[in-house]
Amino acid sequence: MNRRSFLHWAAATPLLAAADDVPAYRIVSPHPLSDRPGMPGPYPGQVVRVHSEDSIDADSEKVDAAVVRNMISRGMRALTGDSDERDSWTRFISKEDVVGVKVNCSGAPNIMSTPEVVGDIVRNLIAIGVPPGNIYIYERFLNQLESVHYERFVPAGVNIHAVEGQRGSILGYDPDTYLEVSFFGEEDTRSSLVRLVSEKLTKIINVPNMKEHRAAGVTGCLKNIAYGNFSNMDRSHRFEKTHTRTFIGTLAAIEPVRSKTVLHVMDGLRGVWHAGPFSRERRFRFYPKQMMFGTDPVAMDRLLIDVIDGKRKAEGAPSIWDNSEERVRLGTDEDPQFNRFIREPGHVEYAHGRGLGVYDINQIDLKTIEL
């Protein structure tokens, strides 16, 4: 199938548009479907959780880089079964790859993919022979990315890349790879893929946080790799009833995002249990002091749902599954009893239906390591 015929096929094929609550999605992509997609990858339904009380001090928020390094080493080796961490990394990355490290900076500088975590991922990539110039730490928005200063934690030559140098710029997006859908009659109905992903990167390592999200319920692996790689995505949650349930999994399944995303390292040193994905109020942050490793974003996010809901229960807040209208109050995030959207944690199960991983908690193989 040549490029022109594939574009025609993709553009002409609605995606799961039969159900009443699923919009008429239309995917256009010149990238063919892969017979070995990165998601759910070689370890479907398998997750490694590493916890260390010494990883971060909850009062000062100081991170112990040596403990983080040990957490990553133990987590990667437990996931793959290798005794040498270099062998674990080479299962996913070769020295010829151009690697994107997809960070999450939407809550920066208060919560973000921790620099010490990102720095150690980069260290491991260089250790297996990936040149610094072939590594891209990237995020959509320049102001969020610059507030973290990842350059202080990685060697010279590693690229720190913002898709939108000026907020709203479309230059960093690929006009030939997009998802088209109208949610609320908006003028711009396309969400285009980050150009760096479509044109340069050969592999992506996803580094999300453990956060509640006012519209999606949680923002973990799936949302970071979906909303973080496409333009014009916040249109899905402009009103109290959103389309996040179906939009996230649909975006994450688009090629080449699905094939290139080969590893997820969930940074749970800090977390947000209300008013996410930002962290403007310290009282809504908490400290799970853990990290999760896997190739299955659905399984990891299914576990994340329990982490966030467990913390909300402990705080006396309603479940993220509570979609009652009396819980919706516009214009405020200060009271955890209310929310401006009807949350949609069901996006994780929907992504399972898109073939991105295992949702059933009874079929998830969780290995926990205490340090």
pLDDT at 5 over 80: no
pLDDT digits (tens, 9 = 90+) for 200-218: 999 999 999 999 999 999 9
Q: For residue 92, what are the β-bridge partners? A: none
**Phi, psi at 156, each rounded to 5°:** -60, 145
Query: Taking each helix axis from N to C terminus, what angle separates 65-80 and 115-127, rounded to the nearest 10 degrees?
Result: 60
pLDDT the model gives residue 311: 98
Predicted local distance difference test score (pLDDT) of residue 14 = 38
Structure tokens at 68: 């983080």
Give the N- to C-terminal CA distance of the chain in Å, as an integer. 51
In tens, the pLDDT along 22-37 reads: 899 999 999 998 888 9
Q: How far apart are alpha carbons 298 and 349 in whole angstroms?
A: 7
Higher-confidence residue: 138 or 330?
138
Backbone angles phi, psi at 169, to 5 degrees: -70, 140
Q: Are 309 and 303 in contact (CB under 8 A)?
A: no
Domain 3-370 class in CATH: alpha beta
Domain ranges of the chain: 3-370
**pLDDT band of 19, cuts 50, 70, 90:** low
pLDDT at position 89 is 98
Least confident of 15-19, 252-256, 272-276: 15-19
Structure tokens at 50: 């590493």
Q: Where are the alpha helices (DSSP H) in the chain?
A: 3-11, 65-80, 85-90, 115-127, 142-146, 195-199, 221-226, 244-252, 257-260, 297-314, 347-353
Give the sign of the dihedral formed by CA 247, CA 253, CA 257, CA 258.
positive
Can you say whether the dihedral through the CA atoms of 248, 250, 254, 258 is positive or negative? positive
pTM over 0.85: yes
Q: Are 244 and 250 in contact (CB under 8 A)?
A: no
219 three-state secondary structure: strand
For 280, the token pair is 């403007």
- At a CB cut-off of 8 Å and minimum separation 6, what does 345 contact? 216, 217, 218, 305, 320, 321
Query: Is 213:219 a contact under the CB 8 Å cutoff?
Result: yes
Q: How big, in percent rounded to 5, are the helix, strand and coil portions of the chain?
A: 35, 25, 45
Per the structure block, which two tokens stand in for 256?
């080449």
37: left (phi over 0), alpha (psi -120 to 50) or beta: beta
- E strand or H helix at 26, and its extent? strand 25-28
Report the alpha-carbon distance of residue 348 to residue 352 in Å, rounded. 7
